[in-house]
A and B are shown apart, each in its own frame.
Chain A
């Protein structure tokens, strides 16, 4: 072996050069946190949260949700307009209109102080 071969100087690694793997993991976690934050914001602000019956507190009623509305038939948006197509639409619409109006949703006054027994009259 030739002892006269010039020895290349050992390059000094910076802190981050020596911890590239750690840096990679930190960046990946940061990106994941940002994406989760964005999706949670969308989940809450879009109103999807209100429709999510799998949340805690809704489990007791989630089984009663209508998951299959196949009974609600689509009316075809193509085809001729004639007596038959008008009669078909009339039958479909009347059935579903009656179903939609069958329930007077959110009626009553379950949040009245009297119902909750927190009426101001008795509040001292």
Chain B
């Protein structure tokens, strides 16, 4: 407990910096992740469907990506709220509560990182589905 109290100020400074840098990361990366879906995947799927092509695998990958994106949003919100709660704890008076709150925030941040990994995987899945779609189109003698 003494160690927490003595490191309290520096720990809180670190948490404050992390709070701000993670918020920036959430805004900038989140924007790219959203655009992947709204500006590319969904639009290509719509175009393929309107031309009566089989786009099931593309749509499936897009749906999975959308679900993962929703999970990322929810998990980040939970992490940010936990980190904000942690910063409100007076670690000189409640060192144990502070330690537990940091541990919880750490778990939630790790979950957000896992969500990012899943998003990257679905981006690759869509790439594979698109490659198959392009290959099928070529085999069918798709021309200009």
* Partner-B contacts on A (CB < 8 A): 47, 50-51, 53, 57-58, 60-62, 64-66, 69, 72-86, 89-90, 92-94, 96-97, 99-101, 103-107, 109-113, 115-120, 122-124
With A47-B76, A89-B130, A100-B36 given, name 9 new contacts (CB 8 A).
A47-B73, A51-B27, A58-B20, A74-B43, A82-B144, A83-B138, A103-B25, A109-B106, A113-B99
**Could you write out 13 A-B pairs with CB less than 8 Å apart?**
A51-B23, A64-B24, A64-B28, A69-B31, A73-B39, A82-B142, A83-B137, A96-B36, A97-B36, A106-B22, A111-B18, A113-B99, A123-B2
Among B44, B80, B98, B99, residue most surrounded by chain A Cβ atoms (within 10 Å): B44
Let me know if A118 and B3 touch, CB within 8 A.
Answer: yes
Task: Report the minimum CB–CB distance from B113 to chain A (whole Å).
Answer: 4
Let me know if A65 and B28 touch, CB within 8 A.
Answer: yes
| C-alpha gap A78/B77 in the complex (Å) | 35
* Partner-A contacts on B (CB < 8 A): 1-4, 7, 10-11, 14-16, 18-33, 35-36, 39-40, 42-44, 46-48, 50-51, 53, 73-74, 76-77, 80, 98-99, 102-103, 105-106, 109-110, 112-113, 116, 119-120, 123-124, 126-127, 130, 133-134, 137-138, 142-144
**What's the count of A-B pairs with C-beta under 8 Å?**
173
| C-alpha gap A57/B46 in the complex (Å) | 42
Let me know if B51 and A86 touch, CB within 8 A.
Answer: no
Contacts of A103 in B (CB 8 A): 25, 29
Let me know if A53 and B24 touch, CB within 8 A.
Answer: yes
8 Å CB contact of A118 from B99, B123, B138: B99
Contacts of A124 in B (CB 8 A): 1-3
Task: Report the minimum CB–CB distance from B22 to chain A (whole Å).
Answer: 7
| C-alpha gap A27/B135 in the complex (Å) | 67
Among B29, B42, B119, residue most surrounded by chain A Cβ atoms (within 10 Å): B29
Contacts of B40 in A (CB 8 A): 75, 89, 92-93, 96
Known A89-B40, A116-B7: A111·B130 in contact at CB below 8 Å: no
Task: Report the minimum CB–CB distance from A61 to chain B (whole Å).
Answer: 4
